[in-house]
Structure formats: structure tokens, C-alpha cells
Structure 1
Amino acid sequence: MPTVQVADLKDGDFLLDVREDDEWQAGHAEGALHLPMSDFVARYGELTQAAPQDGRVHVICRSGARSAQVTMYLVQQGIDAVNVDGGMHQWEQSGRPVVTDDGKPGFVL
């Protein structure tokens, strides 16, 4: 499975967060697209509209398990997708900002 480390992500990389609503509301990466895994197939069209046509989709969840499943699905659909190893736990531990919808500091559930 294609995987990338949090440290390898650059500003402007497209990030898809597949955690559930309560996890997202507690805190997320600024600028990420939120499509909960439980709604993913029904809302797949939102991803195809938002994702860069020639860019990679970096898929993230809390620890990497759910995002791995979504990454495999996207790869099967022909999308250049990679799983973010360690998920939002690694994101937060590496010192990257975690924010709420109103831009205040958040945390990873």
C-alpha cells in the first residue's frame, strides 16, 4: 500500500481526513477535506470535485487503519492516493497544527 510519513508532507498537499464528525470537531489539519469513512462512498463525488486533477490525495485518520482502507479503495478507482502513516496522532506529535472549525487550537481524539 502506498504510504507517506507526516514529515514528508508539504504545505499545499491535498489532505483527506476520513475520521468521524466528533473526531474532526475536536481538531484537524487546517485545509483538509473532511469525508467521514462512514459516509465516504455516498460522498465520493465531493472528493472528485475537490481533489487536484493531477495531484496526490493524502488520506489521514486517527492512527492510519481507516485511512489505509480508503487509500486502497481510491487506488482501485485509479486515483493517486497514499496513506499518511501514523495518522493525526503522528501529525500532532510532530508539532503540526491541529485546529477546530473556528481556527482555535484543537486536539486529536
Structure 2
Amino acid sequence: MSASIPEVSIDQVPADAVLLDVREDDEWAAGRAPGAVHVPMTQLAERLDDIPDGNPVYVICRSGGRSARATAYLNQQGWDVVNVAGGMGGWARSGRPMEADGDAVPEVI
């Protein structure tokens, strides 16, 4: 990974962080951080208006790879965004709150 991509670990993400989840729809439905905004990475370029306001916005995926690419792209477009290393897998392992669609038990897929 390039050193030019700003990155934080799960424990550095503030409780009131603005989160952008770039995973696909099925991953989002299975388990996500409460309050996160969902814009799949495949739709980022055409949904820039949906990027939440934050200073910075924390970008998260399953493990940190897609979010790193999304972070690099959004920073090039002028956003103040930071990659969340470890992604939702790390989020779940650290015991951070999660929710899922319906009454399913949240999980990271």
C-alpha cells in the first residue's frame, strides 16, 4: 500500500466518526456499522454526491483493500478521507457495534 494513503486502525476511529462503507449490497445487508453511509465502490464515481460530509470521512470495506483504493480516489477528487485498516472484519473482532438488515444477527461476509 502506498504511504500516501491516510490510514487509521479500528481503535483510532472515533465513536462519532462519519463512516463510508464501500462494500457490495450483500455485505452491507449482512452487517455494518450503525450510521454508516453505503456507497459500493463500483458506484463511487457516479455517486460522488452521496459521499457524506465529514472531516475526515472514514472509509471502510471488509478488510481494508477496497477502502484503500476508494480513499486514494476520493482524496484525488478533493475529499478529506481516511482508510480504516482491518475493515469490518477488524471492526467486528474489536467488539464495535454492528447492525444488519431485518432481525438477522450482524456478521461480516
TM-score calculated relative to the size of structure 1: 0.90
CA shift for structure 1 position 105: 3.6
The aligned residue for residue 70 of structure 1 is: 70
Q: 1 CA distance for matches of 2:67 and 2:105?
A: 23
Q: Deviations over 1:62-106 (max 9, x none)?
A: 000000000001111121111000100000000112211347640
Q: 1 CA distance for matches of 2:48 and 2:104?
A: 28
The aligned residue for residue 16 of structure 2 is: 12
What one-letter code is carried by the residue in structure 1 that aligns with 2:37? L
The aligned residue for residue 98 of structure 1 is: 98
What one-letter code is carried by the residue in structure 2 that aligns with 1:39? Q
What one-letter code is carried by the residue in structure 2 that aligns with 1:82? V
* Contact 2:21/2:61, CA 8 A, preserved across alignment: yes
Return the match for 2:49 from 41, 45, 51: 45
The aligned residue for residue 31 of structure 2 is: 27
- Percent identity between the two aligned chains: 49
* Contact 2:67/2:83, CA 8 A, preserved across alignment: yes
* Contact 2:23/2:41, CA 8 A, preserved across alignment: yes
Q: Does 1:3 align with 2:13?
A: no
Structure 2, unmatched stretches of 5+, are: none
Q: 2 CA distance for matches of 1:75 and 1:18?
A: 15
Runs of 4+ in 1 over 3 A off after TM superposition: 101-105
The aligned residue for residue 83 of structure 1 is: 83
Structure 1, unmatched stretches of 5+, are: none
Q: CA RMSD in A?
A: 1.3
Q: 1 CA distance for matches of 2:63 and 2:71?
A: 14
